[in-house]
């Protein structure tokens, strides 16, 4: 592997770990925000993202818990997705990229990306339903605005995972014939 490729993979690894850390902070902040919103709602204005859904809580607890569940699950899945990406970039060997670990990681990345996209889409549709019922949801749209991008990205990553599976098959056949 050339020095340029090595530098690129080190930089990618660092960026992936930084994004993972940022998403962990976001998920942790939202969890703390959720807990404080249940027990000390007056402190929510001082917390991360100031996500105050107390009006929704007072109007309908099921709506409140469903929206917060979507927010928390999506943020946790995004953090875990970048953990998998970080592990993949950190352990990828360009001299022999077609191995079962890489294939499994890329397939797993496509499944998590699809899960995030579908959950975001369902959350957005649920939020639209609540908007028509008179709930204030403007501050929630930031959590699932990118649902279509995640679904499209999942399809592309899945195709890449299938290419890697075929590459493994070809490499195994090549190793057996040599």
pLDDT tens digits for 80-98?
A: 999 999 999 888 877 777 8
Distance of alpha carbon 101 from alpha carbon 166, whole angstroms: 14
Please report which confidence band the pLDDT of residue 54 belongs to, taking 50, 70 and 90 as the band edges: confident
3 state SS for 81-130: HHHHHHHHHHHCCCCCCCCHHHHHHHHHHHHHHHHHHHHHHHHHHHHHHH
Distance of alpha carbon 93 from alpha carbon 9, whole angstroms: 10
By the 8 A CB rule, do 44 and 36 touch?
yes
pLDDT tens digits for 100-148?
A: 888 899 999 999 999 999 999 999 999 889 888 888 887 787 888 888 9
- Main-chain phi, psi angles of 94, to 5 degrees: -70, -20
Distance of alpha carbon 61 from alpha carbon 43, whole angstroms: 19
pLDDT value of residue 149: 92
Whole-model pTM: value is 0.87
pLDDT value of residue 178: 60
pLDDT value of residue 84: 95
Please report which confidence band the pLDDT of residue 2 belongs to, taking 50, 70 and 90 as the band edges: low
Higher per-residue confidence, 12 vs 45: 12
pLDDT tens digits for 15-47?
A: 999 999 999 999 998 898 888 888 887 777 767
């Amino acid at each position: 592997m050339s020095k340029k490729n090595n530098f690129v993979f080190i930089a990618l690894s660092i960026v992936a770990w930084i994004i993972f850390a940022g998403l962990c902070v976001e998920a942790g902040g939202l969890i703390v925000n959720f807990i404080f919103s249940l027990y000390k709602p007056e402190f929510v204005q001082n917390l991360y993202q100031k996500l105050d859904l107390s009006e929704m809580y007072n109007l309908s607890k099921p709506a409140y818990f469903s929206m917060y569940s979507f927010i928390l699950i999506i943020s946790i899945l995004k953090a875990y997705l970048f953990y998998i990406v970080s592990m993949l970039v950190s352990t990828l060997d360009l001299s022999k990229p077609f191995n079962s670990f890489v294939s499994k990681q890329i397939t797993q990345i496509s499944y998590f990306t699809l899960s995030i996209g579908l959950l975001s889409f369902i959350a957005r549709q649920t939020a639209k339903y609540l908007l028509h019922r008179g709930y204030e949801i403007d501050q929630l749209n930031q959590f699932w605005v990118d649902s279509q991008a995640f679904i499209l990205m999942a399809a592309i990553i899945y195709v890449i995972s299938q290419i890697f599976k075929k590459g493994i098959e070809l490499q195994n056949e090549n190793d057996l014939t040599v």
